[in-house]
Every structure is written in C-alpha cells, then in structure tokens.
C-alpha cells in the first residue's frame, strides 16, 4: 500500500497553517492508514487531527497536529484516488475499447479498472464481477452512491459470454443488494449488433423491470469499433438497426412510465445520428442524468446555443463523480486547459469537431447571423472504424486537417479533445500547424465565441 502524497495545498487552509507542503507523504491520520481517498476524506473531517508525515529528505516521519473545525476541508489534494491497489477488470469483453487501442500510447490509457471506488468517485462503470461482501457492506454503511454498473444483458448466459467471464452470470446479484439497500445506481447497456440487440435487448429491458426496477437510469449506447479491433463478431450498427434500437427503447419507455412512473431507459445521441432522426426535446431526458454518457448531450448543446441566456438543463453534472475534496482530478474531472475570455476577434471562424459533432453544429452555424463561420468535421483516421465523437480526436488528425487550412482564420476546438493539455496521442496545441483556441464543450460557450468573445488558453504558434 502506498501513502497519499500531497500534490497541492490550499492557501490559508488548515493544512497550510500546519506547514504541510507538496510532496509530503501522509502515512496515517489519527493513527489510521487510509485505503483510498474516501477513507482519507472521512478521517480528515475530524476537528482534532494528528497526521504522520514523511517529508522528502527527512530521515524519519514526524507527527503534525492540525487544528481545524469539524468538517472544514483539510486543504490538500493527493496524488491518487486509491492507495492500495486499483482493482483491475478480469473480464475480456470483445467490445472493450481498451483492447482496441494501438500500441505505444500513454500507459494510463491501458488501465482497465473494475473498482467500485472509481465508480463512486469518477463515474467509471463497473461490472461487479470482482465485487465482494465486504465491498457491499462498506457501500451500504458509508452510503457510497451514486454508482454506475455495466449491465449489457440480464440473461446470465449471454452476459457471461459477452464479458467472457463466468462470474458475469452471477455478479448482477450485487446490483440487487445495492438497490435494495437504497443506493442510487445508474446502469448501462452497450448494444452490440447481432449479440445483445433485437430480442435479446427486449429480454434485457424486461429483466430490468422484473429484477432491477429501482435503477435510477439505464443508458443504451452503441459500441465503438476502431480499426485496431480484432473481434470479427463486433461491427457497427446499420441505419435500420439503429432505428430498431430507438423503436425498442421508445416502447419500453412507455412501459416503464406506465409501471414505474418514469422513462428509466435512454438512448445515446449517436443512435439518433445513425438512424437519421431528430433528437427528442429536453423534457424527454428528465434533467439529463446520463449527460456525460453521451445521452442528451446534443440536445443540451443545441438548446444552450440557441438560448444562451437561458437557465440551461438541470441535473447536468460534469462527470458522474461524487465530490471528494482531496480526490485528484481524473477522467471527466481532469483539467482540460485554463479557458479565459479574450478580446473580440473579427476574423472568419472555423469550428473544429468530429464527424458526429459536425452534424450537430452545421445547422446551428448555418442559422447564426454571421456568414463567415464554417464547421470542419474531421474524420478520425487515427482510430478509424466508426469512431466519430470529438472527444476521441487526436492531435495527429487535427494536424493533418489543419495543414492546408488558411492562416487568416480563427480555429475553435472543444476542450473535450484535451486532457491535461494533451490529445490522446500525446500531442499538444503547440504541435498543430495553426493557432487554435480552446472553447468549453457546451453550446453557450460556442455561441459566445461566435458572437464576438473568444475563449482562449494556450495557442500554437
């Protein structure tokens, strides 16, 4: 087990007053060794805190007394969310995107976790195949929710086959334990054509009503297939298949509303694009509880762009995570780039996005009063396959697309393409052949930029 290491200290916080500094290892709090940042935060809530600190260069650790009010934030962020070992996934799903990554990318991208703590903290989906009674006891006792569970199928044999793990046939019993214990749980079905769609999807939706009606929501998302997939069984949806999924979900939404009083299941935005159908109205998404899972994101974007002064959809959280003060920013919490307002810039504008984003943005830009704005949908040659979301664009694809673009335009890029200032392939804005401005990935920010205020952080030369 590694000790949490301080990565930042808030000015004038109890930690700062006690002399804690970046690099300090916090070996114990009030004599207890935290397993993860959840333990850490609970221990740090004490008003009389004794922390065993090991400082770089010091021969021995020392005890630091920290005076703070009950529940007052300690004022530190630590190096990782889990101090013991992250529970990795023992499934071998054919549709897992990690198996579809090429070699040579950043090591962190290949981490395949199945840890309920990361589900609670960051909204990662867990299959529960590595779940234990001790895990259930802790979740129920400490009320660790919401959690996010990959369902895929309620048929034990089919789920086991999809996860390529015999424990997949039985692990959903823990979902019943969590729901019966009053824990908020959101589910997900990755729909794979010819595998768990059609009648199998109907059976799953019926199984959810029968076995797991207390689920908060269920999102149905299409699988993404990159050119690096070696799974012959996995393929993209046809237009008719995508329409069939939407029709099936609509029928079951009506059944759920009649029996449970709510829609329960929602389709990913990609399905409407694949089926060439309009997005439902905002009210259809019931305050967008699975917004960051790509469900209702397009509708929220369109409405915010068209009504930038509006209140905006309620319930949208940036990432599914629960807020824990000391937790490091990871996943959707990871910093994109610092975005600040800059002065007005009247050059013509090109909005950079993925193939799917271009289909959402093009009608909005066409209706905008400015006639010098264009949308450049960039094919994802790096991943290939059916990958079309902006968040998976790489610096390599952007550089290729920008190489022949004119220099006298402004180029706007959604911040979803970047994580801690880097694209998925490790490139940065400085590696692009044109200066690019980073805009927050919401309709209001893009509309503000088009109306005359640019949102900019670091730009390429």
| CA distances to 171, 196, 199, 356 from 175, in Å | 8, 20, 23, 33
What CA dihedral angle connects 294, 300, 301 and 302, to 10 degrees? 120
User: What is d(CA 459, CA 118) in angstroms, rounded to the nearest whole number?
Assistant: 33
- The pTM of the full predicted model, rounded to 2 decimals, is 0.91
Cα–Cα distance measured from residue 107 to residue 113, given in angstroms and rounded to the nearest whole number: 13
Beta-bridge mates of residue 373: 349
Question: Which domains are delineated in the chain?
Answer: 6-78 (2.30.42.10), 97-306 (3.20.20), 335-456 (no CATH)
Cα(299)–Cα(214) distance, integer angstroms: 26
Find out whether 8 and 2 touch, Cβ atoms under 8 Å.
no
- What is d(CA 281, CA 9) in angstroms, rounded to the nearest whole number? 44
Question: Phi and psi (nearest 5°) for 52?
Answer: -85, 115
State pLDDT tens for residues 98-124.
989 888 887 777 888 999 999 999 889
So what's the pLDDT on residue 407?
A: 93
**DSSP type of residue 193:** T
**How do residues 187-236 score in pLDDT, each as one tens digit?**
999 999 999 999 999 999 999 999 999 999 999 999 999 999 999 999 99
Q: What is the pLDDT of residue 310?
A: 72
Can you read off the two tokens belonging to residue 228?
């690096």
DSSP state of 327: P
pLDDT of residue 341: 44
Quick check: 457 pLDDT over 80? Answer: no
């Amino acid at each position: 087990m590694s000790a949490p290491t301080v990565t930042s200290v808030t000015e004038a916080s109890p930690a700062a007053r006690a002399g804690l500094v970046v690099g300090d290892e916090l070996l114990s709090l009030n004599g207890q060794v935290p397993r993860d940042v959840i333990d850490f935060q609970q221990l740090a809530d004490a008003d009389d805190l004794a922390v065993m600190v090991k400082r770089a260069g010091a021969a021995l650790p020392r005890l630091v007394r920290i005076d703070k009010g009950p529940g007052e934030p300690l004022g530190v962020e630590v190096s990782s969310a889990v101090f013991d070992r992250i529970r990795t996934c023992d499934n071998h799903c054919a549709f897992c995107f990690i198996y579809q990554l090429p070699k040579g990318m950043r090591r962190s991208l290949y981490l395949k976790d199945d840890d309920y703590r990361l589900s609670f903290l960051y909204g990662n989906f867990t299959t529960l195949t590595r779940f234990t009674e001790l895990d259930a006891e802790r979740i129920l006792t400490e009320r660790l929710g919401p959690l996010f569970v990959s369902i895929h199928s309620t048929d034990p044999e089919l789920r086991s086959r999809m996860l390529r793990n015999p424990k997949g046939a039985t692990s959903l019993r823990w979902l019943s334990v969590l729901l019966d214990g009053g824990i908020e749980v959101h589910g997900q079905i990755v729909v794979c054509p010819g595998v768990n769609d059609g009648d199998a999807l109907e059976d799953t939706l019926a199984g959810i009503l029968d076995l797991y009606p207390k689920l908060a929501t269920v999102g149905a998302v299409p699988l993404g297939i990159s050119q690096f997939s070696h799974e012959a069984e996995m393929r993209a949806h046809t237009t008719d298949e995508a329409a069939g999924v939407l029709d099936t979900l609509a029928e079951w939404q009506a059944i759920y509303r009649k029996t449970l009083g709510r829609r329960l299941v929602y389709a990913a935005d990609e399905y409407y694009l694949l089926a060439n159908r309009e997005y439902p109205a905002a009210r259809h998404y019931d305050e967008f509880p699975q917004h960051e899972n790509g469900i209702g994101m397009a509708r929220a974007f369109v409405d915010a762009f068209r009504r930038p002064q509006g209140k905006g959809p309620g319930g949208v959280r940036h990432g599914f995570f629960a807020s824990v003060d000391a937790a490091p920013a990871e996943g959707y919490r990871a910093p994109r780039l610092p975005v600040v307002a800059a002065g007005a810039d009247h050059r013509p504008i090109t909005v950079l996005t993925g193939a799917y984003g271009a289909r959402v943005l093009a009608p909005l830009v066409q209706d905008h009063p400015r006639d010098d704005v264009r949308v450049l949908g960039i094919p994802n040659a790096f991943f290939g396959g059916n990958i079309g979301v902006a968040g998976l664009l790489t610096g390599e694809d952007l550089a290729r697309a920008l190489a022949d673009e004119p220099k006298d335009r402004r180029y706007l890029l959604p911040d979803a393409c970047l994580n801690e200032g880097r694209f998925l392939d490790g490139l940065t804005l400085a590696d692009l052949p044109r200066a690019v401005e980073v805009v927050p990935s919401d309709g209001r920010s893009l509309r503000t930029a088009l109306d005359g205020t640019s949102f900019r952080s670091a730009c390429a030369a």
